Amino acid sequence: RKEVEQDPGPFNVPEGATVAFNCTYSNSASQSFFWYRQDCRKEPKLLMSVYSSGNEDGRFTAQLNRASQYISLLIRDSKLSDSATYLCVVAGGFKTIFGAGTRLFVKA
Amino acid sequence: GAVVSQHPSWVICKSGTSVKIECRSLDFQATTMFWYRQFPKQSLMLMATSNEGSKATYEQGVEKDKFLINHASLTLSTLTVTSAHPEDSSFYICSASPGFDQETQYFGPGTRLLVL
């Protein structure tokens, strides 16, 4: 089993749609969780950290379920510019593991 | 915000040649720098971790004699791919952290290597 697993997609959605990404991790001792965004042929960029209480940043909502070892990212009112690969990242014990990413295509 | 640069942004070379990639933190001192490799449609894979003035720590399966890492200063780390082969063609990304862990890391723009 991979340490961090994501649905590779791609997710093809129309503009304005709501889309949810899921991620599971295997190490119960993991302490920090992030969502990164990676555009084609570019470096990953931090989108948001994920907190146990859940957190929201504009159209983006991240949630963490430690009991199920599950992280989610919800994008509301998706824009064309949201098209990218979304990476789930899990850290702990001086080790950070990147998921393979979920590709999102938002179409007009 | 913290800025990390990489040079070159892309390189094409013949099989057997060595390629050096530079990673610089432009506006902060990077205690630790990380080197990743990413193949198409795959996740970033950590290759090695380097701290200024000390030997790099390589991840399992990464050949230290093939991927030479030097972290000579708090703002510069270099990765040299020695005797490159076509299977070394990949996207190499560095990141820099002001601390010792990966939780706060700033990524460079990456270097795309194509070995013919």
Write out pLDDT tens, residues A40-71.
Answer: 888 999 999 998 888 999 999 999 999 999 99
Q: Cβ–Cβ contacts within 10 Å for residue B9, how many?
A: 13
Q: List the single residue in A87, A91, A101 with the smallest CB-CB distance to B102.
A: A91
Cross-chain Cβ contact A32/B103 below 8 Å: yes
Chain A residues whose beta carbon lies within 8 Å of the beta carbon of residue B43? 4, 87, 98-101
Pull the structure tokens for residue B5: 């640069």
Q: Decide if A96 touches B, using CB distance below 8 A.
A: yes
Write out pLDDT tens, residues A3-51.
Answer: 899 988 899 999 999 999 999 999 888 889 999 999 988 899 999 999 8
Classify the C-alpha dihedral B5-A94-B82-B16 as positive or negative: negative
DSSP state of A81: G
Mean pLDDT in order along chain B per 10 residues (116 residues): 91 96 94 92 89 88 94 92 96 90 84 96
Cross-chain Cβ contact A99/B110 below 8 Å: no
The alpha carbon of residue B10 and the mean position of all alpha carbons in its chain are separated, in whole angstroms, by 13
The residue in chain A having the minimum alpha-carbon distance to the alpha carbon of residue B10 is: A41
∠ CA B86-B90-B96, nearest 5°, is 140
CA distance B111 to B26: 17
